[in-house]
Every structure is written in C-alpha cells, then in structure tokens.
Structure 1
Amino acid sequence: MRQNLVAEGVANCGGTRWFDLKDTQTGDIRRVYLWVPPGDAPAAGWPALWLLDGNAVIGTAVDTMRAQAFWPTGTNIGWGVLIAVGYPTDDAYDSLRRSWDLGPPPGRNYPPFTPDGPEVRTGGGAEMARFLLEDVCDFISGLAPLDPARQSLFGHSFGGLFALWLMFTRPDAFANWIAASPAITWEDSFVLDHLARFDAGAHRLRVHLSAGEWEGDALAPFQAHGPEAEARLAEKARTRTVAAAHQMADALSGRGIVTEIEIYPDETHMSVLPVAVNRAIRWAFAIENMHSATTTTQINERT
C-alpha cells in the first residue's frame, strides 16, 4: 500500500527507515519509523513494539534493542520489529498535532500554546487509531511480516492515556499494553468511564503501568525551591499521576488482567522516558515470560 507514501528516508539510528504516510481518510501526513532486526523473520512473523511519539523515542528504542537482543541469555530479550509513529519534523514532539491525535474523543478546545498560534484541540484519537490499525498495518505488511499474536503498544503521558483508551475500546488490537506516566485524570478522568465498561473478553492481555518517583506528591529536589514550586505542587494535586496509575493497576488486576506497575526512583515526568522505553522493550520481547499469572507489583520504588 505505497500509494499513500509521500516521502521516505533513513534515520540516523541503527539503520532505521522512515516513511511519511498520508492518512487515507483525512490526508494528514505522519512519519512512521521502522526498524527490522537482522536475519529472517520467525515462521509466525516478527513480534513488534509500536511506539507513540515516535520522534522522541525511536533512537532510544533502537539502541536498547541493538544493545540487548544480541545477547538473549544475558538479557532475556529477543529480536523484534520497532514501529514508531510521529510527525515529519526534526523536533522531538509536534505538541499541537499530538494533542489532537493522542487525545481520545470527545475532546475539548484549549487556548493556543503560543501567542497568535492555533487553538489546541483534543479528541482525534479515533482518527489516530484507525491510521495505526489500518493504514500503518497495511503499509508495514509489505515490508516486514508481523506475528499478530505478539504486538505491543507503548505510550507516554498523552500516549499512555491513548494506549489505555484504545485497550478499553479495542482490546483485540494489541496483546501487550505499556502506559508510562499515563494522563489518567485528563479531562475529568473520562477514561475511567471506559474502564467501568471494559471487558477484555477472550483476549489475554498484559499491561505495564509506570511513572517516575517525582510524579507523586513531592517535587524533585532540584524543583523544590524553584520559582514554580507552588504551581507544580498544585498541578500534582490535579494530575495525581502515581496514585491514578496505582488505582488503574488495581482495577485491571481485579479484572484478571496480568498487570505490573513500576515507580522509577529519582525520575520526573520527562526524565522517565528512556527508562520506560527500556522496560517496554522487555515487556514486548521477553523470551521467558515472567508474568504468566495476574499480578500487581511495585518495583524500584523508594520507601
């Protein structure tokens, strides 16, 4: 399905290729990064980790795979395909577009990020989901055979919220779901309404939730005495990232879903990203699955 291919090239990270694809429904162009391991694909196809905010995470993900999968007895990591979806920009993020794409419906309107900038809109998650599950899947199928039973999705912050929402609405889409610092309380915690109606059915899902230590009630030491300390504390009280993640883990575990939660010490909302990507690689490509039964755990959390 190359008729929606606008441009392509090679990214500066371990032989990763990128493709600018036009959404077949909206015409929007998004950049899809693809890294395929060396050698032949398994008979069933490659396991794959799909990553949101692709511009920000593809380099970390590729380096993590290349450093670990070649030594499986030392890492328990096997080879797999990496698919990261972002935008045609050299920046780590396109904040305006990700707000729309990763904000599940119905969404809201917000003031511009910059003076005289466009209004910020959320609620385009259904468009993004269709793009991932139809356009990107069709395109990738011509480049790398994938094992449909071993597909994983990773998202951070808004991406983590998107991943949870997609799991609640399309539990058939992926087998493994990794939500780092998910914005669960965003827009009056509407995602909890989806949780209340959620039924995984026959799908055997695995969920990994995480957050940084300094996304809890306390500020990071370097923020504690800064000019924004009071505003940051007020924001923490609203977002409740760590507490909401724990509550989500308990709720999913109570529904019989294999669930793990980790709170990473000495990490903030943004510094947690490479740690979370590394854990996503393990959750997606572990050779020996350490979590075959329902479990909720706390690992690497300060006490």
Structure 2
Amino acid sequence: MPKDTDFLYVSARIKYLETKLLGKNDIERILDAPGPDEALKLLNDTEYGYDIAEMENIYEFEQVLDKSMLRTIRTLKESFENHELITFFTLKNDFHNLKVIIKSMILGKDNGYLSRLAEISPEEIKKYAEGERAANIPDSLKAAYHKAMGAYELTKDPQRIDFALDQALFDEMGKIASTSRDPFLREYLTALSDLTNIKTMLRLKKIDGDIRTLDNALVNGGSLPKEFFKEMFLESSQSLIEALESTPYHQIIDEGITQWESTGSPSVFEKLIDNFMISLARRGLYKPFGSETVIGYLAARENEIKLLRIIMVGKINGISSDMIRERLRDVYV
C-alpha cells in the first residue's frame, strides 16, 4: 500500500490547484448572470479563460470543460506514479463510450456523445466492436463488450446493455480499490456502490420492475448485500427509510424519497447523493498530503464541471436562475 509520503509532491501541487477551484460565491455570480454569454465572461479570469477565448460559439462550452479536465488529468499523471487513482475516476468514461458505440451499432445511428476524457481511444473501441480483434483495447473492455452483447442478444432489451456495463465498470473499480489497498478509495467506492444500488432499486420500483431485473442491475462493491435490496424491493418506502436509519445514508434516503414521491422527480435524490459523495471527498481538503488529496481533488474537479454544465445548459435554454439553483450541488471549497 502506498504511504502518505509517496504523495508529497502531487499533494503540494494539488494544494496550489485547490486555490483555483470555484467557490460558492463564484458559482453564485455565474448563476446570476443574465445569459450564457455573460456567464462565460465571468469565467474569463478563471482556469477556463484560455479555452473560452478560442470558442467560436456558445455551444462549444462542452469542449472548454473537457479541455480543462484533460489538463487536470495530465497534471496529476505528471506529478506521481500511482495512476490507478486517476484511472478509478476516468474509467467510467471508457465504459460510457462503449455504451454509446454498442447502442449506435444496434440502432444503426449515432446514439450519444463520446467522451474525450477516456483512457482508451473511442476509435479503438469502435474497431473492436466492428470485429477487428487486434484493436488496442484492454481485456477488461473486451470482456465487458461481450457481456453486454450477450445480455442484449438474450433479451433484445437495450437496457440490459447499461446494466451489464455498469456492473463491469464497478467490478473494475473494485479491482483498482483492492489492488491499491487504499482505505479511503475503498470507502469512497463502498458509498458510491451502495448509493448507486439504492437509486437503481428505487427507479425500478417506480416503473414496476421485477426482482429479476433488479438482480441484473445491482453492482458490486457496496456494504449493503444484494439480498437486502431484493427484500426491500417488495417493501414500502417507509420500510426502506427505517431499514437504513443506522447507516450514513439515512438523511439522503429520508429526504430524497420524500421529495421523489411528492414531485415525481428523482432530481433532489440525485442531488443529495452527489452532495454526500463530495462531502466524503472533502476529507482531502483537510489533509496536507496523502491519497485523500488526489481523490478529493479529482472528485472536486468533476463536481465543478458538473455545476458549470448545469448552469450553462440552463442559461442556453432560458431557464431561470432560481430553477437552475435548485439543481446545483455543493461546492468542494
């Protein structure tokens, strides 16, 4: 297991980079801008300014966010040797691309945005999906591809592709956490897995899904066993709230389910999950050095980009600041 002192150099760089993160007041100023152009102008003096200057139109703001995150990843990779911690966060982008490519093949048309933040070139993934077995992708992605295609061929249900790839993703994240033997990474994954499974179960309950579908959708890596979810699947919302009363997730479940049932929307529940995860990651903010600083900073950057995306999409679509504010997550700093 890496020692905290192995992270001295990268932690020092991160402590400087943390000063560049957007705080609550920064986000409020951007949110209060009258339109998307004015919101972008407020970002000119931030880390995003250089890329904003190269934009040709407002719709290229996604590229600005991607370029910023790519610089973060590159800076961290240059600063320490344990790239597994970085891969833990970037791996979801590879699996996202695999989902998009498989569904595009099945539907015969483009089916989504390919992430530029993945470790593996989407072109190589596409080559493999089209039958070029010499394509340069890791065995884990090859296995995930065949698992997803097998699930789809068995049922002809595109949702089974999502389930299969989500399970494969969490299995790979679990391998990274196990190999790294990092207690905080393990704790972070446990919470993420538990909350993912809780959200999945609630979604399936809302659409009158069945236990077989639930079993195919649950991911590994959490502290709550799969049998717990199968039992709770048939119980009332109040029973679930009571069953999780002694867990760290109690407030999320209590408030989140109440809001979901009263509004018919899972947005508050999803916001509470994100806030819980950023609160957990914030431990890195208070450690001078160690893996927590890396994990916390990566989570912080992902969260910041999500906040800016919510604001900019809202501004472009003419949504009021108050409505956008309801969707915003907590900031890291």
Bin the TM-score by the shorter chain: under 0.3
TM-score when scaled to structure 2? 0.26
More helix by share: 2
Which of structures 1 and 2 has the bigger CA Rg?
2
> Which is richer in strand?
1
Task: Report 1 or 2 for greater relative contact order, CA contacts < 8 Å, sequence distance ≥ 6.
Answer: 2
